[in-house]
């Protein structure tokens, strides 16, 4: 079972039957909205940290060119700007530092969602018993 469906299942257990469609649609909306917000935040943090780390670890490289080329184009940018092996290693260190900051963001988001899960009511699925009619025969 995927972890994305757990909030929806929890809402189906907790909410009254009439409120389940509204509750699940709100939960799904915020799952996608949160993903979009964290994607934008992650990209912004990544680019900002990459540029500052490039200035520290590989000052010979043009940070704008490295950001535009992406991780796969780093070696080509280093060769174009004749930064040598030091520039390549500095670029890799800069990428490492920028990606590490994104992991901090993801870890913080997971910790906040974990803490918010304590606010949800605990409950289990309600099993309705079927009434069995006795047949005479």
In the chain, count H helices and then E strands. Answer: 5, 0
38 vs 1: which has the higher pLDDT: 38
- Please give the average per-residue pLDDT across 71-97, as a whole number: 83
C-alpha span between 9 and 1 (Å, rounded): 11
Q: How far apart are CA 33 and CA 27, in angstroms?
A: 10
Name, in order, each residue with C-beta under 8 angstroms of 119's C-beta and a sequence gap of 6 or more. none
Q: Model pTM?
A: 0.71
Band the pLDDT of 1: cuts 50, 70, 90: very low
pLDDT in tens, 93-125: 999 999 999 999 889 988 988 898 787 777 666
Q: What is the pLDDT of residues 21-58, one digit of tens each?
A: 998 899 889 889 988 998 999 999 999 999 999 999 98
Angle (nearest 5°) at CA 92 between 87 and 95: 125
What does the DSSP assignment read for 16-57?
A: -GGGHHHHHHHHHHHHHHHHHHHHHHHHHHHHHHHHHHHHHH
What are the sequence ranges of the domains in the chain? 3-115
What is the residue whose two structure tokens read 């509750």?
Answer: 23
The mean pLDDT of 59-77, rounded to a whole number, is 86
Q: Is the pLDDT of residue 127 over 80?
A: no
**Residue 131's pLDDT is what?**
63
Rounded Cα gap, residues 52 and 91, in angstroms: 11
């Amino acid at each position: 079972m995927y972890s994305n469906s757990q909030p929806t299942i929890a809402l189906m257990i907790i909410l009254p039957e009439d409120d389940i469609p509204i509750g699940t649609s709100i939960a799904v909306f915020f799952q996608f909205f949160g993903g979009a917000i964290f994607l934008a935040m992650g990209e912004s943090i990544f680019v900002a940290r990459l540029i500052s780390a490039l200035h520290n670890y590989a000052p010979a490289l043009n940070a704008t060119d490295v950001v535009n080329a992406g991780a796969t184009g780093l070696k080509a940018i280093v060769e174009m700007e004749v930064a040598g092996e030091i520039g390549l290693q500095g670029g890799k260190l800069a990428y490492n530092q920028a990606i590490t900051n994104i992991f901090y963001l993801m870890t913080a988001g997971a910790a906040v969602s974990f803490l918010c899960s304590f606010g949800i009511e605990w409950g289990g699925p309600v099993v309705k018993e079927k009434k069995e009619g006795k047949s005479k025969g």
